[in-house]
Structure 1
Amino acid sequence: MTAPALQTTRRCPYAPPEQHTRIRDTDPGISQVTLPGGQTAWALSRLEHIRAMLTDPRFSSDRRNPNFPRFTRERPGRQPLLQTMIQLDPPEHGPARKAVVGEFTVRRMAGLRPRIQEIVDEQIDAMLAGPRPADLVQALSLPVPSLVICEQLGVPYHDHDFFQTRSATLLSRALTAQDRQQALTGLRDYLRDLIAKKAAEPTDDLLGRQLAQGNDPEDVLSLAFLLLFAGHETTANMISLGVVTLLERPEELAALREDPARTLPAIEELLRVYTIAEFANARVAVADVEIGGVTIRAGDPVLALSTAANHDPSAFDEADEIKLDRGARNHVAFGFGIHQCLGQNLARMELQIVFDTLFRRIPTLRLATPADKLRYKDDALIYGIHEVPVTWEESA
């Protein structure tokens, strides 16, 4: 019997697809589904099962494996144009991550805080000086993380339209494999030229430091792609979603304004509730493994239904409720295990600075379009909102 097709559309922005919840709430919480690429894969939906899978070396991240879960009908086992560290298994993964992990320590992130604050203030200044309503996505959500990661990497920000357009293509499920291949080729060639220039004329930025340490330029290229791609799309979408959520909850927003210590717990809750990279934790079994009483055979594709797991009632009290003071950090919005998101400290800090600054500087900010009329990214691999029209009252 053919496994049911994987549902990818949420029943509302705050909730996983009904199918995912149904799988989670029916023992054993593991079921087979048919992916958009045509494969049959195991779907894990409970937090404990997903965390166990993500820390088990018998599950591989290598996209070159012909059985790795695919969301498009691309040729199985096709050699990727770029093999980033999130696609590496031990022992190759450890040295690749170690080479760059020092760039993302809490201490180094604290050193970036003043510059990020400047960037946020500059973007809000520009938004206030422009027409109303403004699109928050273009005015703030995209520029802030894009500027931050460009400065960190040493990528010219004036090229942001080029890499943002191609990133959006790579994340779309609606476009063809050829479209994505062209976008990836364009990004790869752009970054290769940039790295060659940095090799010829050393720069004091993350990519320049990687080259100065003697790392292979092709390894630096794959790192640059990963950080540039992941470093703006995810945070940009969380800014937009977070602002909409807070504007829809004026009493809780007022509490955040009065006590900024509430912001970080609220960010954790927003990360948990939305889980925007919900299908990022895919793997392929390389040995027989039993999880939750189900035997997953070597070669079986495995998908983590991360949004369902982050709404798991066995892990979170009143899991479907948004409790901005919850502050739980046992979610898998940033993944788990050795591939847990490298830039999570940076993402949290950017979100904190944006939310605190935006609502302090524009206390009358409000949505210019009702939240239920906004266009959510149901067709993308990273969840978010296409546009967020906002307006505000002129200050006296």
Structure 2
Amino acid sequence: MSKLPNITTSIFSVMSQLANEHRAINLSQGFPNFPEDERLLQISERLIRENIHQYTPMAGLPSLMEKIAAQTTKQYGRIVNTSTEMLITAGATQGVFTTINTFVSAGDEVIILDPSYDSYEPSVLVAGGIPVRVSLNEDYTPNFNRIENAITSKTKMIVINNPHNPTGRIWTEKDFESLETILEKHPQILILGDEVYEYITFTQPHISFNTRKKLKHRTVIASSFGKSLHVTGWKVGYLIAPENLMSEMKKVHQFLVFSVNSFSQHAIAHYLDVVDFNEVSKMYLRKRDLFQNLIRDSRFELMPCDGTYFQVVNYKEISKLNDVDFAKALITKHGVAAIPISVFYNDATDRSMLRFCFAKTDETLIAAAEKLCRI
């Protein structure tokens, strides 16, 4: 009997395969297609012959954890005890799975805000929990009336992705205050804060759960180096949580992966001495602005993009096709691949929206925009 009977081939695989078949420009999957920082490559070349290829400690490489703790203090003012409040994971997705499967038991409900990243619900289902999908507003801001109405005595956790994939929106101070007001009434509810795009924000600063005094004692924060350092294939992420939560997660992590790739941890630990996350954000801001300006005169309507490296557009002035069919037609007829937003909803809400990834070379973005502007 399958634990995930309704899981089929992901839309990312479908669109990328179709893009390959038709030699389309692939703006669907969320990974950069430009070279890594030369400094990171030089560090990697130097380290590859050093004695760093055996197991690291289960919770993570101590030098990397100290660098993360220092960056967390610098960025958010939070002091993190690396021995009791941090865990290095095989990417943020493993961190999400570990968190959910540590705290969610059979019959527990987990609130997921739609449109949502596709790993949340399967993680809940494997744990025996019940996903409760709650739609965001039409402008992809949180609807706190819906969130509060979804809470029951069985609610164990709420998953909040900020900055938000797939929509590119980020939460405001008012949003956090609304959440705090609601959760004051429900002290049993834990928060999983997925903050993998924390260093890619544009219109306003990212507000992290690390800074929320009323919430951080009940929050597990998942972060990732794959997005911020554009090394998605290295699969190195980390969790930050109070000791009482972290001690339980380490038990699950130990028998899931035991320890994370040693070479990547060493290389990132050295690279954190030289990388400037403000420069990462500026680089993606330039790419966002380039892509927006290139397609501003097209028939696509640009949605707000506050953070991440995703741009959502509305195509209602172009076609009446549903978003999945239009995304396929965009590949086969026009040579550009995107992701339809309806696949991120439990009920396949279709508002004629597509997600483009602009973490690409300027040449790729220019070539894609030329095709999009001809539609």
How high is the TM-score relative to the length of structure 2?
0.29
Structure whose residues are more often helix by fraction: 1
Bigger fraction of residues in strand: 2
